Structures are given as C-alpha cells and as structure tokens.
Chain A
C-alpha cells in the first residue's frame, strides 16, 4: 500500500487538489519551467514524473492515463512528442526544484520547478574533469601545440582582446577592459558587468557594488554593445 501524503490537502478539498495539480502539471509541460510555492512544487513533482514515465512508454493506454490529469490535448501532444524523447535516457529525476526568495506579499517560500531536458551526460565525471584540466594546463605553455579545440579558442580570445586572463570574455565594441585596481580609466565612467550583461551609470543604485569588467564612455555605447540598463531604464 502506498504511503499516504503527509499534511493537509492543497486547496479546499480532494477535488480541488486534483484540479490544481492537474493545472500545475499542464503549465509545467507547456512552459518547461514554472514558479510556484514550495508546497505545491513538492506535490507536483511525483505527479509530473509519473506522467513523464507514461509519456516515455508512449502507447495509447498511457496517453489516455495522462489525458485523465492534463486536459489540454496540445500539451499532452507536446509531452509525448517533444519532452519524452529528450528524457528517454534519463532514469527518473525529470524535474528540478530550485528554491528562490520568499514571496513579497505573504512571505510564502517560493521555488522554480523545471523539466530537466538536457542530455544525461552533459556533466562529465570528476575524474574526466581533472584529466581535461591537466591536459589544458599542459597545453597552455606550448601555445602552438595542437591542444583541445576549446582550450585554443580560449587562449586566442584572450590574446586578441588583451583582456585579463580570468575573465576571458570578448571585449565589446566601444569598451575598454577593467584595470587591475578597479578604478575608472580616463574618459570611461560607465561600468559594464559581463556576468549580468548590464551597465551602470555613476550614481545609480548598484554602481558602487558592481565590479566592472568593462568601462564604457557613455550609456549609449554600452547599449550599442548589447548591455542592458541595470534595474531598467528609469533607474539610470
């Protein structure tokens, strides 16, 4: 006998809970990623994983079983034809829950629940990573030697832009790289954050807290380089 779910039902009663979970599952399969409360996400996870297992089986019987929960035929079609092949090699764990800061109005603990659709072998084993790092380190002094394509690309990028080695990012147009001590170069006072892709003009909210990878002469230059205004246009 399966263990009964702990704690109270969601919503006003069993029927309400069934409907809510069905709607949550539908939204999840439609958008791949939804933001909800932790309580709902925890209830949704086993249901969504079971539905994906049905989708991987893929026959008419399992399609009818899924249709009993997710009412939208288009979403079920997407589940069976797009999501199921992506997770074919994955043995369970089709969803991922990431906690985020509590909700503003009622301080409810919130989270993002998403489908894990990337291939299973995307993250190599630790031993492999170590091996790759060792070979990269060996290849670095002998720059001319045929190293791995990734390693050479990186070194080329650093050489051409003359950016600091630890950032190793392409220098955008109309920008200068950050100096070692973090002070503004002559004539460039707009900070560009390479991690977030945002720029900060002097006096804006996060200007002092931002570590600039790039310096721009003006906000227009930063925008031309594809940087967003931090906190929206009005905050600048």
Chain B
C-alpha cells in the first residue's frame, strides 16, 4: 500500500484548505412579497409559488 514519505507541513495543509470556499446562494426576488427567495421554489417568507400558497413552505410555520 502506498504511504506518504513525508509529514505534510502545517503550511501545506492550511494553504490547501484555504481554497475551500463557500459560494453565495443565488437568490431572486419573490414576486409576491419582494423578499429574496431561491428561484423555482416556493418563497420561504410568504409560502407562495406562482400564486398558490403552500403552508409547509412558509418559514414562519416552524420558526415562528
């Protein structure tokens, strides 16, 4: 089995990990309540999608 010959330095480890970045979530505006919401998804702040209301999508259902 292949094994590392040398210990990986703290610097190398950290410079590798420094490139792990999070990307911002792409958000559009809800046409109903104008809050930022993901596209193609029922709006989490008002629970509507294409004029239909989904109570389970409403964030206030489980966070309020």
Contacts of B52 in A (CB 8 A): 98
What 1/0 mask marks residues of chain B from 16 to 53 whose CB sits below 8 Å from any chain A CB? 00000000000000001101001011101010010010
Q: Which residues from B are CB-within-8-Å of A98? A: 42, 49, 52, 54, 57
Q: How far is the CB of B57 from chain A (nearest CB, A)?
A: 4
Q: Is the CB of B46 within 8 A of A100?
A: no
Beyond A98-B49, A99-B41, A101-B44, is A195–B60 a contact (Cβ under 8 Å)?
no
A35–B62 CA distance with the chains assembled, in angstroms: 14
User: Assuming A195-B46, A196-B46, is B57 touching A101 (CB within 8 A)?
Assistant: yes
The contact of A112 among B38, B56, B62, B63, by CB within 8 Å, is B56
Q: Are B60 and A230 in touch, CB under 8 angstroms? A: yes
Report the bound CA distance from A112 to B56 in whole Å.
8
**Chain B contacts for A125, CB-based, 8 A:** none
- How far apart are B37's CB and chain A's nearest CB, in angstroms? 9
Question: Is A35 touching B64 in the complex (CB atoms < 8 A)?
Answer: no
Interface residues on A, range: 10 to 19
| B62: chain A residues within 8 A (beta carbon) | 104
Q: Which of A95-129 contact B (CB under 8 A)?
A: 98-101, 104, 110, 112
- Determine the distance from Cα of A99 to Cα of B52 in the docked complex, in whole angstroms: 12
Q: For the complex, what is the distance from the CA of A3 to the CA of B35, rounded to whole Å?
A: 42
Task: Name A109's closest neighbour in chain B (CB-CB).
Answer: B41
Contacts of B57 in A (CB 8 A): 98, 100-101, 112
Please state if A195 and B42 are interface contacts (CB–CB under 8 Å).
Answer: no
A101-B32 contact, Cβ under 8 Å, with A35-B56, A230-B60: no
Q: Does A143 contact B (CB under 8 A)?
A: no
- Whether A159 sits at the interface, judged by CB under 8 Å, is no
Q: Which residue of A lies closest to B60 (CB)?
A: A231
- The complex places the Cα of A98 from the Cα of B44 at a distance, in Å, of 12
Most buried by B among A98, A209, A231, A235: A98
Can you list 29 residue pairs at the A/B interface with Cβ under 8 Å? A35-B56, A98-B42, A98-B49, A98-B54, A99-B40, A99-B41, A99-B42, A100-B41, A100-B44, A100-B54, A100-B56, A100-B57, A101-B38, A101-B41, A101-B44, A101-B57, A101-B59, A104-B62, A110-B56, A112-B42, A112-B57, A195-B33, A196-B46, A209-B35, A230-B64, A231-B60, A231-B64, A232-B64, A235-B64
Listed in ascending order, the chain A residues whose CB lies under 8 Å from chain B are 35, 98-101, 104, 110, 112, 195-196, 209, 230-232, 235
